[in-house]
A and B are shown apart, each in its own frame.
Chain A
Amino acid sequence: MSKQYETVIGLEVHVELATRTKIFCSCSTEFGGAPNTHTCPVCTGMPGSLPVLNRQVVEYAAAVGLATNCTINQYCKFDRKNYFYPDNPQNYQISQLYEPICRNGYVEIDTPSGPKKIGIHEIHMEEDAGKLIHDEWEDCSLVDFNRSGVPLIEIVSEPDMRNADEVIAYLDKLRLIIQYLGASDCKLQEGSMRADVNLSVREAGSSKLGTRTEMKNLNSFKAIARAIEGERERQIELLEMGKAVVQETRRWDDNKEASHAMRSKEDAQDYRYFPEPDLPPVVISDEWLQEIRARQPELRSEKLIRYKKEFDIPDYDAQIITGSKKLADLFEATTAICKKPKKVSNWLMVETMHLMKEHGMEPEDLRFSPENLAALIDLTDAGTINSSVAKDVFEKVFLENVDPERYVDEHGLKMVSNEGELRSVIEQVMAANPQSVEDYRSGKEKAMGFLVGQTMRAMKGKANPAMVNQILKELL
């Protein structure tokens, strides 16, 4: 490669909003119902049916807009995007083209050369389509309209990103903001967050944008990173060979680590957008906007500062814990009960992380309650159980959310600190292991550890370790 190239990337991110009901009717958005059970005349496009806008969708969209420094369009409108496809019951999608709800925002990401602003061109509200299921056996396709009308927002960035790391940082930032707002769970794998990558390359130093392609079907951060690398190389190769990049939509195949063209600009459809006549403009009054603003929860950057100040936990821990809304919620709720932030942080940072990794879980999958973690911490602190028992009990809490006090009681796991009892067990251990006793006395310090271990074993792990050490030393 003789020339230096710069990659220019913009993102279109679709986020499924966590409303209880659909955007234009009162059907449930719940996932996993039997096909076509969460449907009505509106979301199946029956003749004569009319859409009614769900206020919660406006509030979530505006909340995301406010959190991403957008200007809120207080007089926004819906438009119809016309195209024929069987998963689209009306053969038009109600979306926003001319007057989207949010415009001109940005989020800040961290890059090796310092913080960088990624511009947000607009955020608009729209409805999701149904799902097509191809029946190979009958050689026909079936439509499930349960997803039809589930609310989405589309966040369109400016072409401000230059590499995969920036894209991932931007997506991570969006994901966190939206999770913190409670507007969506933003799971890439499950499709509640979907990103299309618009990418072009140009010679370094050029101010003119190259021809871009749009990459679809990116289901994980890893796939996004690989697709960006692959598409960058493909485009540079074309340019080096003196060929032109064709403006087209491409589909990424993560198994093959390659993409193929889906449709070019020439066969791009004319969506014949026009204002949706069934919905009046959405007027967001100053009062309503103020209400939405007032309800904005504390976002990550604010939490990070507060954690370090209020709870005095290390920056590293605060970063990890606030990196997930779920972890942050757990941390705060548990701390509120037991008032021991550092211990809570330790349990989350060490044992929780360890078990999550072991079970291949995400923070969102955590099911134990703050009450039970707090109780476990209290049991340990009070000396009711020793630390090795605590780890075992925590695993039970982690997996089954058991009540630790009851569990310790039922399984007789309380720490034994009765000196007489300990002394007699240790004497038995010493009697059974004369060689080790001899070794210690002749200066082999290691033998001490062995004897402690044997004592613990005899006590089924429940012995007070400090007292065992003390008595052993005394007897030796």
Chain B
Amino acid sequence: MGRQRPIRNSYDGDIMSELKGTGQQTADAPTPEDAFHEAAALDARETDSQSSGRNGGPVLAADGTPLKRSLSRALRRQKLRALALIAPLLIFVLFSFIIPIGSMLFRSVENGFVEQTLPLTVAELKNWDAESDTLPDEALYQAFVTDMVAAVEAKEHTKLGSRLNYEQTGLSSLFRQTGRKIKKIDPETDGPFKDKLIDIDDKWGELETWRTIKTHSVRYTNGYFLNAIDMQRTAEGAVAQPENKRILITLFMRTLFMSLVITTSCILLGYPVAWILANLPARSANMLMILVLLPFWTSLLVRTSAWKVMLQQQGVINEVLVWLGIVPDDARLVLINNQLGTIIAMTHILLPFMILPMYSVMQTIQPTYLRAAKSMGATNWTAFWRVYFPQSVPGIGAGSILVFILSIGYYITPEIVGGTKGVFISNRIAYHISSSLNWGLAAALGTILLAVVLILYWAYDKIVGIDNVKLG
């Protein structure tokens, strides 16, 4: 961030500019960064002087040690102290954020469970060609019965059934029911097992079942990521999901598109508000500020439910429009349970995140610039567009990043007002975390979402430059 000299505000006495004054003073104090620059400069001079051979020994400090060494020692101390100061936060973030998130994301590839539960079967399956048209031989069935009896003993078989049911419908009950009946079989003496197992359930005599187990027995799988982009892992490799099950890509696209729309509408609505806030006298600005912050302090659920009351077909807006005769009673507007509802409610909820950074940037723009521009003959519009607006862009940038990233992960508002076409990918992630318990898929979706955000952030840095973002 470029460090600019503070330009004294015209209303010098007010609190805001006083606060700003102190802020800038600290920025003027020497920082470790300054010391680095100086050390680098010294370094450069030293090599300079050595190569030219004009001057013999290095520059010495007061106590006789070379200045470079004593400076770097001082710097190291400073760095250690800085590290010690941030250590509590660093450790906190590490344990409460980075490690849990990391382990959650790791689930998107981790798949050791199948092999752990059916070790002998998985080893035997390696000898069986999944693309052949013959069933596995007796050795595999024997291995499977041994594994399965052990799994039933450890009560792991139903868990395995739920895991494999994500890949092939019906395996959940197959494992549950086989588990009940297999207790009567002794894996040591009761062989051969092939017919016995097929007797328990026909599915054990189907190629499809064994193919699914084989395909999903690898320790690290790409299956969840393939599912996350509407594909599936099969014995023949990755193939697209059937058309009537494709939904996740649509949801990703919709999430990005709607987040963009919400960000844009926040800019359009927030900019004039921030401008008024920044240009009013402090007393009235503070009053208005409370109005901006008030929704911030109200529960999210209350605000979202309030929108429901406003927007529904028998709601306040429709009633008023019908009463005014603008809208006929039998053709009331559909403002909720669709994309429009999500956009309206989320724009309102995220608006403070746009106004606040804009406001604090606009605070620093001198009104004298506008006056100067006008005195030199600019029209109101030119003065605004050529002089004021470019200086406020860093505030728009900061607000947009905040709003966009927040809205991309929004969950509860789309769930309540989004109906069917206004829900986001996060609603699907929540479903897989809490209802279907398919945490691997949820983790894969989350990882993709995180990657998309990082890519967009990188692109933003390339196009706009992250230096141009200011929170004040």
| B partners with A | no
A contact set with B: CB distance below 8 Å: none
B contact set with A: CB distance below 8 Å: none
